[in-house]
């Protein structure tokens, strides 16, 4: 087949070769998008009882739900099904995600504007978050906090119909960049993300609170990720002891300055990779920080995989769905606003 294509392409002009390559890429992307497996449930009502019922315009299998009597396909209400962009653009964007490119680079490669590339990224992040495997609370688990400078960047004009509609007022003076904090050490101007890794290679990263995490904050993040049968190693932060005792997990405190005894080097190595990943985006708005943490964990989950990253991400884009609309993104409030309300 490839020999036939090469022979045919050799007879074409440069412009015709470019057009042929674009047509082939679009055709392959559409074929991959239409070749999904059988769905698990009806996307309209969630009923798991359905039967096959005809084909759609592209030849894909249609199904009829026995619960709500509505028809659907494996791609109904999916990321690509709801998009006006060509399948080839989403395939190109999958490569952008695999390479962790900036928004400007994504927009240029995919032929979109910056705003569209931004929405594509966050919808893909929702899909990647849904593909994360559950963290297994077994064996040795290392937990530590990673702190990020609070960033209030982004569009804060809330549309009519949202609570607090109107122009957003900055609760503090603008910083020159996301890391321009004039307070040394940990403070309420930094946001804590609790991270963890176990001996099986599972990882998690979740935005927890502003400043130092309390016992209640840690309990909320670690529930389901630490418990009976797990031995959790942490630094000397006292709040870990109460949270882990409530969860029934064994707790080992590690002196971060003493490298001759037990350590939490595995989670610290994860922090190093996370910091390198986040540095490429030059300051992430705190209200969208969880999406980037999910993206990072998705990359980590498949870090040792031999498969093609673009193909895997594109396949997940084809199968995935998203919940947050454009209007919801615009109206999204700043996280942890209580601190600024009390400071006013």
The model's pTM is: 0.80
Residue 17 has pLDDT above 50, yes or no: yes
Q: Do the domain assignments include residue 201?
A: yes
pLDDT at residue number 101 = 94
Burial per residue of 249-282, b for 16 or more beta-carbon CB atoms within 10 angstroms, e otherwise: bebeebeeeeeeeeebebbbebbeebeebbeebe
pLDDT at residue number 159 = 52
331 and 188 in a single domain? The answer is yes
Structural domain including 178 reads 139-343
pLDDT at residue number 21 = 66
Whole-number Cα distances in Å, 28 to 14, 157, 311, 323: 21, 40, 11, 27
59 and 192 in a single domain? The answer is no
- More confident of the two residues 245 and 261: 245
Whole-number Cα distances in Å, 184 to 42, 188, 190: 53, 11, 11
pLDDT at residue number 327 = 81
Q: Do the domain assignments include residue 268?
A: yes
66 and 181 in a single domain? The answer is no
Residue 341 has pLDDT above 50, yes or no: yes
Residue 129 has pLDDT above 90, yes or no: yes
Q: Do the domain assignments include residue 131?
A: no
Residue 5: pLDDT band with limits 50, 70, 90: low
pLDDT at residue number 178 = 47
Q: Do the domain assignments include residue 28?
A: no
Q: Do the domain assignments include residue 88?
A: no
327 and 181 in a single domain? The answer is yes
Q: Cα angle vertex 328, ends 327, 334, to 5°? A: 125
pLDDT at residue number 39 = 75
Q: Do the domain assignments include residue 132?
A: no
pLDDT at residue number 319 = 77
Under 8 Å between Cβ of 282 and 178: yes
Q: Do the domain assignments include residue 259?
A: yes
Q: Which of 27-41, 65-79, 165-179 has the lowest mean pLDDT?
A: 165-179
Residue 342: pLDDT band with limits 50, 70, 90: low
Counted domains in the chain: 2
63 and 203 in a single domain? The answer is no
CATH of the domain at 229: 3.30.420.10
302 and 199 in a single domain? The answer is yes
Residue 30: pLDDT band with limits 50, 70, 90: low
- More confident of the two residues 303 and 12: 303
Label the pairing between strands 50-55 and 139-149: unpaired
pLDDT at residue number 307 = 79
- More confident of the two residues 65 and 330: 65
Residue 211 has pLDDT above 80, yes or no: yes
- More confident of the two residues 50 and 173: 50
173 and 267 in a single domain? The answer is yes
């Amino acid at each position: 087949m490839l020999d036939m294509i090469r022979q045919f392409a050799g007879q074409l002009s440069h412009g015709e070769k470019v057009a042929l390559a674009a047509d082939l890429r679009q055709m392959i992307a559409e074929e991959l998008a239409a070749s999904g497996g059988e769905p698990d449930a009806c996307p309209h009502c969630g009923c798991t009882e359905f039967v096959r019922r005809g084909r759609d315009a592209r030849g894909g299998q249609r199904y009829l739900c026995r619960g709500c009597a509505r028809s659907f396909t494996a791609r109904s209400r999916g990321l690509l099904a709801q998009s006006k962009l060509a399948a080839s653009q989403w395939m190109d964007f999958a490569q952008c995600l695999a390479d962790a490119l900036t928004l400007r680079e994504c927009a240029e490669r995919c032929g979109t504007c910056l705003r569209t590339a931004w929405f594509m990224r966050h919808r893909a992040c929702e899909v990647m978050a849904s593909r994360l495997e559950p963290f297994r609370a077994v064996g040795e688990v290392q937990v530590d906090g990673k702190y990020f400078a609070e960033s209030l960047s982004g569009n804060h004009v809330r549309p009519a119909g949202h609570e607090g509609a109107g122009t957003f007022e900055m609760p503090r003076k603008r910083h020159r960049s996301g890391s321009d904090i004039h307070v040394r050490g940990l403070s309420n101007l930094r946001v804590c993300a609790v991270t963890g890794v176990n001996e099986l290679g599972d990882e998690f990263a979740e935005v927890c609170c502003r400043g130092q995490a309390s016992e209640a904050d840690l309990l909320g993040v670690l529930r389901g990720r630490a418990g009976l049968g797990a031995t959790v190693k942490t630094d000397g932060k006292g709040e870990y002891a109460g949270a882990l005792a409530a969860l029934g997990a064994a707790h080992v405190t590690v002196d971060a300055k003493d490298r001759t005894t037990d350590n939490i080097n595995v989670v610290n190595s994860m922090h190093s990779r996370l910091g390198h990943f986040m540095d490429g985006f030059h300051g992430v708005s705190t209200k969208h920080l969880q999406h980037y943490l999910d993206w990072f964990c998705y990359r980590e989950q498949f870090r040792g995989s031999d498969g093609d990253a673009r193909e895997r991400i594109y396949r997940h884009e084809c199968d995935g769905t998203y919940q947050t609309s454009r209007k919801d993104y615009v109206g999204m409030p700043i996280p942890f606003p209580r601190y600024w309300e009390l400071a006013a």
